[in-house]
Structure 1
Amino acid sequence: MNKTIIVSNRLPVSLQLKSGKFEFKASAGGLATGLGSIYKQGENLWIGWPGNAVEDRQQQVEVADELKKLKMAPVFLSKEDIELYYEGFSNETIWPAFHYFTQYINYEDAYWEAYCAVNKKFCDAILAVAEPTDTIWVHDYQLLLLPMMLREALPDATIAFFQHIPFPSYEIIRMLPWRKQLLEGMVGADLIGFHTYDDMRHFLSAVGRILGLSNESGYIQADHRLVNVDSFPMGIDYDKFAQAALSKKTLSKKKKFKDQLGDQKLLITIDRLDYSKGIPQRIRAFDKLLEEREDFHGKVSMIMVVVPSRAKVQSYMKLKKEIDTLVGRINSKYSTLNWVPIHYFYRGFPFEELSAFYSMSDIALVTPLRDGMNLVCKEFVASKTDQDGVLILSEMAGASKELVDAILVNPNDILAVKQAIIDALTMEEAERKSRIGSMQASLRRYDIFQWVDVFMDRLTHVKQKQQEFQSKAIDKPLIEEMVGRFRNAKRPIVFLDYDGTLVGFKTNPGDAYPDQELLQIVDKLASKCEVVLISGRDKETLGKWFEKQRVEMIAEHGVWLKKSDQEDWELYANVDDGWKEDIRQVMEYYVLRTPGAFIEEKHHSLVWHYRKVESGLGDLRMRELFSHLKYMASGHNLQVLEGNMVLEIKRPDINKGRAATAFMRGTAYDFILALGDDWTDEDTFKAMPKDSYTIRVGYDYTQANYNIKNPTEVRKLLSLMVS
């Protein structure tokens, strides 16, 4: 029976050694709560690091046995692994890069080597328990290489990946020397999820520009697989926070805290110590408020919780010192005998005390400089059971895309944050309740359990979509059937497109000439059947390349024909090219605007090439030109075709399908095979009789009966037919 394996850097428990015995403390995190509905079922399990360097073999066995009872399996990391892979590459390279803090990126080769090695450790741990068709859901930036490692070992497995931190723009990701390997690692998954559409968009851009993989509507064609990229905003366990706010323990803590603080408005800020959280900027905004508005003195306090993190790292030590200094200066400047502006806690708090903080605070100030999602703001909103409170939220947090009823601010704009605090303090009760109520309705609906369900449903959908493609993929039984029919046929014919079918694409189209292997394959094929090369290439190029071959050639999508026993080309279709001058002028305008683009003129068409153009810019200009030509085409009875890095305009009544039909007219062929790779070949496929074999190279949607992976596989198939 297939099982689901959850994989993350840390297990949802913390391992502690007490009195010589190992103890496990369960995580209270939202992810652990949501995924509990998966890994606790049936044979499912969770794989990850238990949170301590256990290097003694006997102790490792003991820990593994205990974790097995909890439906978990450990990946043991050494102190060196933790230092180089986790503290090093994960948190000193990926973390600053993905949060846009490029000044903190550490480009250490030793970190990268450790990162690769630990991802391999995780892969080995999974392979020890995984079956070939299991579902494996990998989480977060520490394991970016893992999906492709798993794909290579388990090609039929269902693999998902979710990133919980932001994904940066192409301009940032390109700075990393290992960008290609990281992206290739992620593309090993069937489904790749991010919190926001922006992250998804940045990823697709990077994959297109660095790996050269195009996408359509969030689907990437990666080798012979379809990969879906989508956004899934993560929720919280709403009921847990709403119920906790009303529990006796929380109410008791709340009363105690309120008695100590007296009658004043409270701002709450809760963060892990990190430069991405914008803590100093937030303190400065509060300082500005106190400086300008004496009427708030004694009436407003900030409860600031900073949870310790990476205390030995220089940049974090510097940040801690800056926060301490800012808080100390404000408190010494404004404090009175019965009022302290900032209640600063550098430590974590038990859940009930955090719940009390949320519940009793009037305003939550959540202003990270960059955050994948940020769940603190959602926890605050869920805890306001009286529906009275105000959320001030950074535009740079993923949650801002959902919580649009918060007061949204740019965290770098100190004056705007100060004004937001004033607006929150003076907001009418009806507006406060309306805003919180609206956000609560959204959070209640899109909670952590809904997030898990939607993600898993999407994963199922992607696999079904892949199978639609795979059902048309050429397999061994089909090849055997085809070869058998070919060898028994008395009058076989094979139609072959050239670029993208027999050869791969080249930056310079002139470099895609046939190599010796291809010429030998075509020669052998021509000795056993009628071979028709049907290409968009001009007749001069095609004629020169296959000058000595016994093949029929149809050039320029059906304009020219050259029989194997003829010296000269004959015009296969009458064409009027009076439209060319107007179209050429438009194309030349786009060439001038697009370095690397050029125009190819054929007898019946004009082709705008952009293979040499900077990735992204070429697509943009092509879309502009496509729209422009579409408009002009209607007045000239022309057709605009989008090919592989080309845009071609021609008469609609001239196409490969019409040419192929005309060629076969009057002859009874008992075996017909047509191979092509783009939309111009769809006309050929449509024109073929029902009992033909029509095969599209690549895994796009097609009128063809079957798909084949690439030109290399095409050559293998043709070689089998003639061997």
Structure 2
Amino acid sequence: MARLVIVSNRVPPPRAGRGGASAGGLAVALQSFVAPGTLWFGWSGRVVDKPSGKPRVVEGQGVSYATIDLGSDDYDRFYVGFANSSLWPLLHFRLGLMRYRREDFEGYLAVNAGFADVLLKMLRPDDMVWVHDYHLIPLAAAMRERGFTGRIGFFLHIPFVPASVLEALPPARDLLLALCAHDVVGFQTQTHLSDFLDCARRFSGFAVEGQEVVTNGRRVRAIADPIGIDAQGFARVAARAAGTAYIQRVRESLLGRSLAISAERLDYSKGLPNRFEGFARLLARFPQHHRKISLLQIAARSREDVAEYQALRRELDRLAGDINGRFSQFDWMPLRYMTQTVARTKLAGLFRIAHIGLVTPLRDGMNLVAKEFVAAQDPADPGVLILSQFAGAAEELTHAVMVNPYDPDAIAEAMSTALEMSLEERQERHAVLRRAVFDVTAARYCNVFVDALKGH
């Protein structure tokens, strides 16, 4: 039986996917799927003066977690440079923030080639390799150049862009050719899939037949496979967490007010300034909600060595101070803003007691927070999900209150609607949302992709 090899930029430490504060969406989605015998390979997260190039292997419940370190120059060019200063803004439609340097792209290719060199020494001939996300687009091409002929799949967790946006990146054709070195390429939504096929048709020179790209000697199958969560498990965690001392302290601090919650990494793709301005418009335009709502914004710090993230944090500090300065009263602070990481178990409890889930990214591949909020709710008295129309989750969660995140007044109006929505309407909306979240689970996502990789 073929072994599954997972490759991602960061590798979760054993047990990190079960609710630890450090567990990201990928770790959470895959951790319950990986079976004994699986190999998970990637960067350790460490930057050292002289990386050895030898993997560090840790065993956890039958799964081998293999990691390598990066040198400082590789980190600057591969991670800070091309991956997060070129690809990330480009694929989130933020061309004004994209910075491209040839030496960064060369470093990006070099790190992927180094990954291929190390990984190939660990592979068996019949292994199936599942590569994740934008950091590692050229990995399969590097592996093919070194003689690997096994099955390789790639999944992009963030958005893909139309040809008119992709062409702004100088090595766009190189990246499309690299994607076509895989056997299966997966995307979160049908829109992202269609954009990829259109770009392949225009930039690669290969033929596109249905949902396949026909290359020199290979047919690349493209699929839409939306990622999900363990909805039942998260719902149980949320119900238990709602009774903990931590959540009781939060309830007491609200003094009977409704809680609106947002939780994500501090990132310019998440629309945080627009969201803060929308909340300010709510308080300015709808004074009937004064003293009746508190917004808890959790924005865990990330990529603090990237200038755009430093500027965003300063802007949010200023906006938070301005909102609380304008609207606070001696016994009411409308905006609670924190940049610490919060464990998923605590987040589950916070989602459970929240009246509004505010998920308004400017662009997102999927956004699992929206699904977690829905799963956490009490069906007898559910909260309201306010969702950006530009989140991938919007294709599935059609009964959320949809907003254009670039319009602060639309956010304000949606929040006012949610605060005044009847119990009957909240229950009706939640019932439809809950079915969608419980149907498209993390296990289903994994099974669909692996079946495609097997050629089924």
The TM-score, its normalising length taken from structure 1, stands at: 0.60
Contact 1:245–1:385, Cα closer than 8 Å, also in 2: no
1:5 and 1:167, CA in 2 relative to 1: closer, same or farther beyond 3 A?
same
Identity of aligned residues (%): 36
CA distance in 1, matches of 2:146, 2:168: 30
CA distance in 2, matches of 1:446, 1:406: 16
Contact 2:36–2:63, Cα closer than 8 Å, also in 1: no
Could you tell me which of 373, 381, 389 is aligned with 2:374? 381
Name the larger-Rg structure. 1
Contact 1:54–1:76, Cα closer than 8 Å, also in 2: yes
Contact 1:147–1:189, Cα closer than 8 Å, also in 2: yes
Q: How many residues align?
A: 451
> Which amino acid counterpart does residue 189 of structure 2 have in structure 1?
T
1:32 aligns with 2:32: no
Other structure's SS at 1:392 match: strand
Other structure's SS at 1:176 match: coil
Contact 1:98–1:167, Cα closer than 8 Å, also in 2: yes
CA distance in 2, matches of 1:26, 1:257: 19
Aligned to 1:351: 344
Aligned to 1:137: 130
1:447 aligns with 2:441: yes
CA distance in 1, matches of 2:308, 2:168: 21
> Which amino acid counterpart does residue 96 of structure 1 have in structure 2?
P
CA distance in 1, matches of 2:278, 2:346: 26
Q: Deviations over 1:639-677 (max 9, x none)?
A: xxxxxxxxxxxxxxxxxxxxxxxxxxxxxxxxxxxxxxx
Gaps of 5+ in 1: 16-24, 463-723
Listed as ranges, the matches of 1:296-695 within 5 Å are 296-387=289-380, 388-461=382-455
Aligned to 1:147: 140
Contact 2:242–2:353, Cα closer than 8 Å, also in 1: no
Contact 2:261–2:296, Cα closer than 8 Å, also in 1: yes
Aligned to 1:98: 91
CA distance in 1, matches of 2:285, 2:58: 58
CA distance in 1, matches of 2:233, 2:57: 31
1:67 and 1:84, CA in 2 relative to 1: closer, same or farther beyond 3 A?
farther
Q: Per-residue deviation at 1:270?
A: 1.1
Other structure's SS at 2:228 match: coil
CA distance in 1, matches of 2:386, 2:422: 15
Contact 1:273–1:309, Cα closer than 8 Å, also in 2: yes
CA distance in 2, matches of 1:162, 1:378: 20
Listed as ranges, the matches of 1:15-54 within 5 Å are 27-42=22-37, 44-54=38-48
Contact 2:21–2:341, Cα closer than 8 Å, also in 1: no
Q: Per-residue deviation at 1:334?
A: 1.0
1:335 and 1:26, CA in 2 relative to 1: closer, same or farther beyond 3 A?
closer
Listed as ranges, the matches of 1:169-188 within 5 Å are 169-188=162-181
Aligned to 1:66: 58
Q: Per-residue deviation at 1:187?
A: 0.6
CA distance in 2, matches of 1:249, 1:51: 33
CA distance in 2, matches of 1:111, 1:140: 18
CA distance in 2, matches of 1:355, 1:435: 20
The TM-score, its normalising length taken from structure 2, stands at: 0.94
Larger mean CA deviation between 124-133 and 47-56 belongs to 47-56
Larger mean CA deviation between 413-422 and 365-374 belongs to 413-422
> Which amino acid counterpart does residue 382 of structure 1 have in structure 2?
A
Listed as ranges, the matches of 1:251-270 within 5 Å are 251-270=244-263
1:205 aligns with 2:198: yes
Say what the alpha-carbon RMSD is for the aligned residues: 2.2
Other structure's SS at 1:337 match: coil
Q: Deviations over 1:554-580 (max 9, x none)?
A: xxxxxxxxxxxxxxxxxxxxxxxxxxx
Q: Deviations over 1:593-614 (max 9, x none)?
A: xxxxxxxxxxxxxxxxxxxxxx
Q: Per-residue deviation at 1:56?
A: 6.3
CA distance in 2, matches of 1:122, 1:263: 53
Other structure's SS at 2:69 match: coil
CA distance in 1, matches of 2:224, 2:279: 34
Q: Deviations over 1:154-200 (max 9, x none)?
A: 45301100000101110111111111111111111111000011111
> Which amino acid counterpart does residue 316 of structure 1 have in structure 2?
Y
1:280 aligns with 2:273: yes
Gaps of 5+ in 2: none
CA distance in 2, matches of 1:329, 1:134: 55
CA distance in 2, matches of 1:34, 1:260: 33
Contact 2:9–2:136, Cα closer than 8 Å, also in 1: yes
Aligned to 2:105: 112
CA distance in 2, matches of 1:432, 1:37: 31
> Which amino acid counterpart does residue 453 of structure 1 have in structure 2?
N
> Which amino acid counterpart does residue 378 of structure 1 have in structure 2?
K
Quick one: higher RCO (CA 8 Å, sep 6+), 1 or 2? 2
